Amino acid sequence: MTLIGESLRSALNEQVGHEFHNANIYMFMCAFLRNKGLDNLAKLFETQHEEEIGHGKEFVSLLTDLNADVFIPEIDEVNTQFISIVGLAQLYLDREMLTTTSLGEILKLAINDNNYVVEQKMREMIAKQQKEYEEATSFLDKASLLPEWWQCALWDAAGG
């Protein structure tokens, strides 16, 4: 028997896709920065990629712990030519804001369903967004100070 309602199950499966899409976006940013010669800045996005894979796996585990069927939704392609580091940094922050909104919607569903286990898990996932915001806003602040690619090379040489 499953311990979760259908709409909540569906939302959690969609969230698996959202997290894996985040992972793909950050791997793309990592590769883009490597090809600009900005290997230290690229490493930050490699770490973000691994964190997002971890989040996706946490949602899969939540579903299987509740004996719910799992599906992995189709994930959109990522192929953006960033004109500047500021554009990349803005997409990073936008994506994290969208993730918080998405987690908040699932939290509301869990509260409506009296599914306390999912409710608690969503609060834990939302709490992690504080650190994600700290990292993304700090990156955007630095990008805004050093918007030209040659300035990014100095930023990268200082360790990223």
Interface residues toward Fe ion, by CB under 5 A: 19, 52, 55
Q: How far is the CB of 57 from Fe ion (least distance, A)?
A: 11
DSSP states of 42-74: HHHHHHHHHHHHHHHHHHHHHHHHTT-------
Q: Which is nearer to Fe ion, 52 or 156 (CB)?
A: 52
Q: Among residues 107, 76, 98, which one has the least CA distance to residue 11?
A: 107
Q: Which is nearer to Fe ion, 19 or 119 (CB)?
A: 19
Q: How far is the CB of 54 from Fe ion (least distance, A)?
A: 8
Q: How far is the CB of 15 from Fe ion (least distance, A)?
A: 9
Q: Residue with the closest Cβ to Fe ion?
A: 55
Which amino acid, 75?
Answer: I
Q: For residues 84 and 92, give the distance between their C-alpha atoms in angstroms, rounded to a whole number.
A: 13
Q: Which is nearer to Fe ion, 19 or 156 (CB)?
A: 19
Q: How far is the CB of 32 from Fe ion (least distance, A)?
A: 20
Q: Which is nearer to Fe ion, 52 or 119 (CB)?
A: 52
Q: For residues 93 and 126, give the distance between their C-alpha atoms in angstroms, rounded to a whole number.
A: 15
Q: How far is the CB of 128 from Fe ion (least distance, A)?
A: 7
Cβ pair 76, 18 in contact under 8 A: no
Q: Which is nearer to Fe ion, 3 or 97 (CB)?
A: 97
Q: For residues 25 and 92, give the distance between their C-alpha atoms in angstroms, rounded to a whole number.
A: 8
